[in-house]
Structures are given as C-alpha cells and as structure tokens.
C-alpha cells in the first residue's frame, strides 16, 4: 500500500457531547453505565475497561462535565 513509506500523518479531531440524567431531586447520574460510548465493560473512546461502571466514570474518560441544563417541562 505504501511502497515508499509514510512521510507524515494528518490528524482528525472531533468534539462529542454526552448527556447524563439528573432526577427531579437533583441527583446527577454521572457514570459510564449512562454513556452511549460505554458498551459491555469498556469505553469505545478510550478502550478502557471500567471496574465500576454503574457508579463511576473511567480514569481515562475525556469528557469534561459542564453545568446541569434544565429541561423545559411545558
């Protein structure tokens, strides 16, 4: 495929958004279990196997948490 080798690479970058649920009492459920990028026992972004995905996020999680967004109820 690359008969003369590779001289360099072009880097592709993206930004992703993932929402985590907050119940009506204000409790946030920020854990891998609620993330669409968590499949089985691992994160498809970092390939990290997360030991407690029901209650924690992985150590290598690249998501930066922002403020809670209120939903309009009517």
Please write the tens of the pLDDT for every residue from 50-72.
999 999 999 999 999 887 666 55
In a domain, 23, yes or no: yes
Q: How many domains does the chain have?
A: 1
- Is 9 domain-assigned? no
In a domain, 1, yes or no: no
The answer to whether position 8 is within a domain reads: no
Task: Tell me what pLDDT residue 66 has.
Answer: 84
Question: Is residue 70 one of the residues assigned to a domain?
Answer: no
Cβ atoms of 24 and 16 within 8 Å: the answer is no
Is this prediction's pTM over 0.85? no
Residue 28 lies in a domain: yes
Q: Note down the domain range covering 57.
A: 16-61
Residue 66: inside a domain: no
Q: Is residue 20 part of a domain?
A: yes
């Amino acid at each position: 495929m690359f008969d003369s080798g590779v001289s360099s690479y072009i880097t592709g970058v993206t930004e992703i958004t993932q929402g985590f649920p907050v119940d009506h009492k204000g409790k946030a459920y920020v854990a891998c279990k609620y993330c669409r990028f968590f499949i089985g026992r691992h994160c498809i972004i970092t390939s990290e196997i997360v030991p407690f995905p029901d209650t924690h996020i992985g150590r290598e999680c690249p998501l930066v948490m922002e403020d809670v967004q209120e939903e309009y109820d009517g």
